[in-house]
Structure 1
Amino acid sequence: MRALLRPLFGRRARLRWIHLILGGALAMPYVLVGAVVVGPVAGSTEVFSSVVLQLASFAVGLPLAAVTSLFPLTRPLESAAVRWLCGVDAALLADGPARGRAAKGRTALWFTLHLGAGGIVAGMSLALPPFAAVLILLPLAAVLRDTRLGLPDVFEHTWALALAPVAGVASLLALAGCAAGAGALLARWAPALLGPAPEDRLAAAEARAADLAVRNRLARELHDSVGHALSAVTLQASAARRVLDTDPEFVREALAAIEETTRRTVGELDAVLGVLRDGDAPGTAPAPTLAADLDGLLRRTRAAGPTVAATIGAPLETLPPVLSREAYRIVQEGLTNALKHAGERVTVTVRVELRADHLEITVENPLTAPPTTRPGGGHGLTGIESRTRLLGGTARAGPADGTWRLRVRLPLTPPSAAPGPPGPRHPLEEPS
């Protein structure tokens, strides 16, 4: 019995019934406006005393509901109600306002159906339960038979009184069946009428692409900043431990470099995580640039043990801020790779030179062992390639004359045209 009654009185059926009653409540203002129009036309001041005039008012009010459904908030609110009360998957519904004539037309049709079906079911829900209760109690309560309550004369017969409770229960089941059927139909039609249009899918795809671009940007920043800091601090601590008893001055320099590296990295990490925290303001730590911190980057790298020979043939202070920031990260990643793969007792050569129309960055270190791929790694040079491509430059990395060479060329003026398909790329051989 419970399985038979669940489609009529189960939780989902009850929630859909509530959804229909809400539609009836929303329809009431439009019915009142319709009554203002129907009353004078019919020459009656008692519109709600006539079922025919009530239906006429209802019919006049529904077109008004279709017009007001064009307000932008209608579709988001209706979608939320359908999602929570009708059990429709959120992925099948549009969240934002309707765009375009077709989407607005579907929203108007849905709103009209919701209010129309809701008004009918809500009216039945108000009228039928009291009537059914009277029928069920009629054979048992003499006072109900004496007052008659406007019941048909047929209930004066004994057989009619005996069947009255059956008719009352049947009317309640009919009400539940109408509500369940109307709710199921609305739930089935909701994805077609409230679902995303092609414009909505395009807007959602653009939003996801923008979000992915931001996440990729933050991932690159974290990889370059934290990855370099951890590699440098590990080598600095290792070098300091080995000469702790023989070279106290080197140990002091290494500890100072570790302190400076971690302090700067914590500031950069806080700035990046501030963007990720929902509701938090971004961190205030400035993004490092060649002009602001190239000397410090080279000094901290030398504290890890390697000899870093730097040739700076460009006025770093005059470089565009975006170019200077991205170039800093490229040099940082090149030095990180050198620390991880060449060792701490090697000479790393860094050249930053200004050519006619581009900035050229070269990082070289001895190729002490064949390049290997670290488990879970392999993102550093991919990040360099991504940064370079966004600025319209080129990047090449790989063995060259017994050394590992990273060479990047960045145009001084980034491309101003709208982004299009990426052009030819130089493959980067990824050792890290």
Structure 2
Amino acid sequence: MRRAWQALFGQRARRRWLHLIVGGALFMPYWLVGTVVLGPLTDGGGPFGGSLLVQFGAYGVGLPLAALTALFPLTRPMSVAVARALCGVAPGRFAEGPARGAEAKARTAGWFVLHLGAGALVSGASLALPPFALSVAALPFSAALRESELGAFWHLDRPWLAWAGLPLGLLMLLGLAAAAAAAGALLAAAAPRLLGPSPADRLVAAERRAAELAVRNRLARELHDSVGHALSAVTLQAGAARRVVDGVLDTGAGDLGFVREALTAIEETTRRTVGELDAVLGLLRSGEDDGELAAPGLEALDALVRGAGPRVALTVRGDLAGLPEAVSREAYRIVQEGLTNAVRYARDETVTARIALSGDELEIIMENPLPATGPAPVARPDGGRGLRGVAERARLLGGAAEAGPVDGCWRLAARLPVGGAR
């Protein structure tokens, strides 16, 4: 009993009933146009005073007009918005945006006609039937109703027959609720098929999802390279400065100038990284998919090398000032990741970095001796993304990168075509 009551008068049933009434309200202009078309048949009764045949004739004229207007682009977004709020269907089963292609437009027109047609019938019944049903239910309690045309219609020549009006009126109201619930369930079942995504919509959604994932991947690379390098460099400089300070405190001998340089490098690295972090977080907050990161390029290479420590031998050949911005930015990140790995694994050995511009290709080679003990550094299976990010950056520019042990050294090599930036 409770389930039957919920099916007829529960929150979902009430929302679907309201959805049908909205359809009936939207159908009203089309119905009025139908009454104008059928004007010669109204006998001067006006749009609301014609015969029942004329009323349903106007209904039949209005439905094709509704199908034609459903071809406009805004019809599907409007229908989806109303159905998502009131129809009781999971939001993910609806398509987004205007209908694309003849098949999607035809399905949208079918939905629009079904919604407005069923809504007009249910709305008309919701307006006309309750007063009549209540009047029939009140026959046993009102002598005036029994003596009226309504009583004559029911042939109430015997008083006890009036009591049949009470259950009959209630059954009319229950029948209206059942019809509205059935029509609402019909629309809910048809909504995913008629308003669901077409193959073209799925393709657009897949492309949008791929673009969003590409942006997230790019931001993840930027955060990894920037913050990861800064933490490694700061850790190295702070550890070296601490050892010098410990020597001064223990023996009174030590190079306090080196401590000053290390603290300066830490300050520069953290300030630069905070700026880069603000740029990435700004894009995340704004939700922009095509925003440009304010990432540094090779013009900031000297500051990067200073922050990595004193044992970095940098050699540059060629004029790097004329490089495209994208190439300069990605090359900077590749060098940064190479230095991050070097300061993590090279310990006190010298890191060699060579950057050469030859023709239309930029070559980056970084080498550092492998540790005497322990395994060679590899991409960590528990989440290390540095070397993978280097390869992705090179591929995006149409180049290539590789890393691995060569002749007792860890070697990172990348080749970037200068004209390959996209």
Sort the TM-score into its range (normalised by shorter chain).
Answer: over 0.9
Aligned-pair distance for 1:8? Answer: 1.1
- For 2:251, the equivalent position in structure 1 comes to none
* RMSD of equivalent CA atoms: 2.0
Deviations 1:131-174 (A, max 9, x none): 11111111012232233457614234334311101110110111
What residue identity is the alignment partner of 1:9? F
CA contact (8 A) 2:212 2:289 kept: no
Q: Which residue of structure 2 lines up, in the alignment, with residue 332 of structure 1?
A: 336
Give the match for residue 105 of structure 1.
106
Q: What letter matches 2:244 in structure 1? A: V
In the superposition, the TM-score normalised over structure 2's length comes to 0.93
Q: Report whether the alignment pairs 1:40 with 2:44.
A: no
* Structure 2 residue 394 is matched with structure 1 residue 391: no
For residue 249 of structure 1, report the CA deviation from its aligned partner: 1.5
TM-superposed CA distance for 1:194, in Å, is 0.6
- Cα distance 1:138–1:150, how it changes in 2: closer, same or farther (>3 A)? closer
Q: For structure 2, which runs of at least 5 residues remain unmatched after alignment?
A: 249-253
Query: How far did residue 62 of structure 1 move?
Result: 1.4
Matched, 1:92 2:124: no
Partner of 1:366: 369
Cα distance in 1 for residues equivalent to 2:354 and 2:131: 90
Report the count of equivalent residues: 411
8 Å contact from structure 2 (residues 122, 180) kept in 1: yes
Residues 376-412 of structure 1, C-alpha deviations (whole Å, 9 max, x = no match) = 4320000000011111111111001110000111112
Task: In structure 2, give the amino acid aligned to 1:287.
Answer: A
Amino acid at match of 1:248: L
Give the CA deviation at 1:41: 4.8
Moved more, 35-44 or 14-23: 35-44
User: 2:76, 2:108 within 8 Å by CA — same for their partners in 1?
Assistant: yes
Match of 2:255 among 247, 255, 263: 247
> Of the candidates 277, 285, 298, which is equivalent to residue 277 of structure 1?
285
The C-alpha deviation readout for 1:318-359, integer Å capped at 9, x for no partner, is 21211111111000000001111222x110000001224311
- What corresponds to 1:7 in structure 2? 7
Q: Deviations over 1:279-298 (max 9, x none)?
A: 689999832111x2011111
User: In the alignment, what sits opposite 1:421?
Assistant: none
Identical columns (%): 60
Residues 183-198 of structure 1 aligned to structure 2 (within 5 Å): 183-198=184-199
Match of 2:350 among 341, 347, 352: 347
Query: 1:256 — aligned with what?
Result: 264
Q: 366-375 or 7-16: which moved more?
A: 366-375
Indicate conservation of the 8 Å contact 2:241/2:259, yes or no: yes
Supply the distance in 2 between the matched residues of 1:169 and 1:30 (Cα, whole angstroms).
33
Residue of 306, 311, 318 corresponding to 1:314: 318
Shift of 1:89: 1.3
SS in 1 for 2:156: helix
Q: Matched residues in 1 for 2:414 and 2:289: separation? A: 34
AA aligned to 2:262 is A
Q: 1:359 to 1:280 in 2, by over 3 A?
A: closer
Q: Tell me, in whole angstroms, the C-alpha distance in 1 between the residues paired with 2:44 and 2:53.
A: 12
Other structure's SS at 1:407 match = strand
Contact 1:274 1:282 (C-alpha < 8 Å) held by counterparts: no
Residue 301 of structure 2 aligns with which residue? Answer: 294
Residues 55-94 of structure 1: pairs in structure 2 closer than 5 A? 55-94=56-95
Q: Which runs of 5+ in 1 are unaligned?
A: 417-432
CA deviation profile, 1:221-278 (whole Å, cap 9, x unmatched): 1111111111111111111111123332111111111111111111111111111113
Match of 2:416 in 1: 410
Residue 415 of structure 1: CA displacement?
A: 7.4
Amino acid at match of 2:391: E
Say which SS state the counterpart of residue 208 (structure 1) adopts.
Answer: helix
Q: Which residue of 1 aligns with 2:165?
A: 164
Task: Give 1:357's match in structure 2, choosing from 353, 357, 360.
Answer: 360
Please report the TM-score for the alignment, with normalisation by the length of structure 1. Answer: 0.91
Gap change, CA 1:154 and 1:119, over 3 Å in 2: same
